[in-house]
């Protein structure tokens, strides 16, 4: 089976930085996984996913997507097959919800009927009534609704890989739990590969089929949630779990 994503000895150093943002990273992500990238601020999580869609290029090493070295692929072409969701949603404020969702399908020259059907299907997928939401502008949506639109916009042309960078970071706890449930349902229904960045241990353990803990640009552990809880591989992992209330026996009261 060709991995969805593979990092071979990848190092990324930003100009002027004393230490690399990512340091000799080796790992593979199998198709269909939902990998949560977990760590504290500045650890290299965003850099990791931006190397997948070539918003950054490595200094040394190779990143492969579906078996292809991304440095050999046109970045625009590459990104068409990779959905990208960020906390600030990146919705176009002057476009309606349906126009936002239709962006990539339009570039791909889908016909009107197919686009309209896809927009409605996606709105229903995140429990937003199409007749109510289709023609609204982003400013007429709550934070949680905006995040749902950002998510389905990235899904519109059914990319093989979805990258999500702390998408629910600015959302209240109750809405966030609902969005997490929706994301899980969408992931399971899609069979696609998701890479989800978070600094929240609970979120990573709830969502991830695997959790990738990074700190100071190094992989600390890459394991299932169960394995991570039972056998934290490094002092950083143990401390991260403990400070957010987790022990090998399970969650503290």
Residues that bind Mg ion (CB under 5 A): 45-46
Figure out which of the listed residues 2, 9, 26, 42 binds ligand ADP, where binding follows CB under 6 A.
Answer: 42
Residue 92 site contact among Mg ion, ligand ADP, none (CB < 5 to 8 Å, cut-off depends on kind) = none
How near is the Cβ of 44 to Mg ion at its closest, in Å? 9
How near is the Cβ of 46 to Mg ion at its closest, in Å? 3
Closer by beta carbon to ligand ADP, 17 or else 108: 17
Kindly indicate which of the ranges 34-42, 168-176, 183-191, 203-211 contains the residues binding ligand ADP, using the contact rule CB under 6 A: 34-42
The Cα-based distances of 47 to 1, 33, 52, 138, 157 in angstroms read 26, 20, 9, 28, 25
Kindly indicate which of the ranges 39-47, 155-163, 179-187, 222-230 contains the residues binding ligand ADP, using the contact rule CB under 6 A: 39-47
The whole-angstrom separation of Cα 91 and Cα 165 is 15
Figure out which of the listed residues 2, 9, 14, 57 binds ligand ADP, where binding follows CB under 6 A.
Answer: 14
- Asked if 187 and 194 touch (Cβ cutoff 8 Å), the reply is yes
Query: What are the structure tokens assigned to 151, written together?
Result: 């998510």
The Cα-based distances of 164 to 137, 195, 227 in angstroms read 22, 6, 23
- Residue 46 touching ligand ADP (CB under 6 A): yes
Q: Identify which of 4, 36, 51 has the alpha carbon closest to the alpha carbon of residue 184.
A: 36
- Residue 54 touching ligand ADP (CB under 6 A): no
The Cα-based distances of 234 to 24, 147, 173 in angstroms read 17, 34, 29
As to burial, measured by CB atoms within 10 angstroms (0-12 exposed, 13-18 middle, 19+ buried), residue 28 is: middle
Closer by beta carbon to ligand ADP, 17 or else 117: 17
- Residue 39 touching ligand ADP (CB under 6 A): yes
Figure out which of the listed residues 7, 33, 43, 54 binds ligand ADP, where binding follows CB under 6 A.
Answer: 43
5: β partners: 29, 65
How near is the Cβ of 116 to ligand ADP at its closest, in Å? 37
- Residue 126 touching ligand ADP (CB under 6 A): no
Q: Identify which of 21, 7, 1, 22 has the alpha carbon closest to the alpha carbon of residue 65.
A: 7
Binding site for ligand ADP (CB under 6 A): 14, 17, 21, 39, 41-47
């Amino acid at each position: 089976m060709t991995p969805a994503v593979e990092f071979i000895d990848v190092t990324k150093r930003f100009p002027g930085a004393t230490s690399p943002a990512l340091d000799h990273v080796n790992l593979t992500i199998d198709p269909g996984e939902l990998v949560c990238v977990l760590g504290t601020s500045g650890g290299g999580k965003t850099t990791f996913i931006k190397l997948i869609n070539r918003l950054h290029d490595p200094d040394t090493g190779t990143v492969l997507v579906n078996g292809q070295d991304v440095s050999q692929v046109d970045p625009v072409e590459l990104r068409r097959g990779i959905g990208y969701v960020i906390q600030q949603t990146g919705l176009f404020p002057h476009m309606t919800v349906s126009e936002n969702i239709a962006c990539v399908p339009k570039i791909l020259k889908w016909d009107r009927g197919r686009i309209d059907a896809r927009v409605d299907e996606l709105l229903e997928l995140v429990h937003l009534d199409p007749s109510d939401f289709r023609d609204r502008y982003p400013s007429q949506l709550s934070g949680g609704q905006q995040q749902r639109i950002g998510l389905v916009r990235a899904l519109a042309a059914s990319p093989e890989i979805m990258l999500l960078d702390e998408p629910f970071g600015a959302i209240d706890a109750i809405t966030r739990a609902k969005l997490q449930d929706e994301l899980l349902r969408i992931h399971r229904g899609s069979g696609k590969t998701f890479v989800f960045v978070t600094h929240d241990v609970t979120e990573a353990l709830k969502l991830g089929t695997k959790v990738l803990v990074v700190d100071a640009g190094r992989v600390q552990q890459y394991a299932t949630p169960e394995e991570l809880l039972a056998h934290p591989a490094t002092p950083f992992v143990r401390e991260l779990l403990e400070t957010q209330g987790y022990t090998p026996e399970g969650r503290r009261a």
